A and B are shown apart, each in its own frame.
Chain A
Amino acid sequence: GNSVTQMEGPVTLSEEAFLTINCTYTATGYPSLFWYVQYPGEGLQLLLKATKADDKGSNKGFEATYRKETTSFHLEKGSVQVSDSAVYFCALRIGGSQGNLIFGKGTKLSVKP
């Protein structure tokens, strides 16, 4: 079946540290891949996306590259800020552009000053 596995949290980092949140997927066909972020008290917001192999999604200093050979879409940021504290969800979508999203469990990131 189709599924997303992301690293367990919580992850605690100091400000300006390097962030990696691992995400791997299992899918039939060719999924689009997404990272969503949920700040406290808010809904899920799309952070970045990639629709085909070797695409790199980027936004707000975050990056992720669609790696078909390793079925991965790891999220990275070179220097985190306190304001990046949130829960991060990796997700995939198959079955057409309006298809449903399949999410990972989410990884909670806390950044300390």
Chain B
Amino acid sequence: EPEVTQTPSHQVTQMGQEVILRCVPISNHLYFYWYRQILGQKVEFLVSFYNNEISEKSEIFDDQFSVERPDGSNFTLKIRSTKLEDSAMYFCASSFRDTITVVYEQYFGPGTRLTVT
């Protein structure tokens, strides 16, 4: 069964450094998402991406964050200058249009745990 993959599974970085989190969505999917979960808190939406542009973003997704689909298969989240409070589990998700139910089920990857020291 196709699945969303994410690399790395765990990333440790120093405050102020740039990090790039990578995701490979399911191949025929058209909508892509990033979410994050700070330890002990809710899973929070960051950004959605469709047709090579951001379709929606949350207040968390400020100028320090960017997303890109560089080569038609990868979907990346870049944090330009990491802060301690960026430490979290980051989940990538992708979805397609189910023409029968017209429900866009989101398929999630296993997550990347980002630790900022």
Residues on A close to B: CB < 8 A?
4, 32, 36, 41-46, 49, 51, 89, 91, 95, 97-106
Partner of B108, one of A4, A45, A97, A100: A45
- Complex CA gap A104/B44 in Å reads 9
Once the chains bind, are B56 and A43 in contact (CB under 8 Å)?
A: no
Chain B residues with CB under 8 Å of A41's CB are 110
Once the chains bind, are B45 and A98 in contact (CB under 8 Å)?
A: no
Interface size on B, residues (CB 8 A): 32
User: Which 10 residue pairs of A and B lie closest in terms of their CB atoms, listed nearest first?
Assistant: A103-B43, A44-B108, A100-B45, A43-B108, A43-B110, A97-B104, A98-B104, A43-B109, A105-B42, A98-B31
A-B contact pairs, 22 of them (CB 8 A): A32-B103, A36-B108, A43-B3, A43-B109, A44-B93, A44-B108, A46-B106, A46-B107, A51-B103, A89-B43, A97-B97, A97-B104, A98-B50, A98-B95, A99-B56, A100-B33, A100-B45, A101-B35, A101-B43, A101-B45, A103-B35, A103-B44
Chain A residues with CB under 8 Å of B3's CB are 43
Within 8 A of A (CB), among B31-75: 31, 33, 35, 40-45, 48, 50, 55-56, 58
Task: Take A102-B45, A106-B43 as given contacts and tell me if A49 and B56 are in contact as well, using a CB distance cutoff of 8 Å.
Answer: no
**How many contacts A-B (CB < 8 Å)?**
62
Q: Which of A89, A99, A100 has the most chain B CB atoms closer than 10 A to its own CB?
A: A100
Partner of A103, one of B42, B56, B105: B42
Chain A residues with CB under 8 Å of B97's CB are 97-98
How many Å from the CB of A37 to the closest CB on chain B?
11
Chain B residues with CB under 8 Å of A103's CB are 35, 42-44
Chain A residues with CB under 8 Å of B25's CB are none
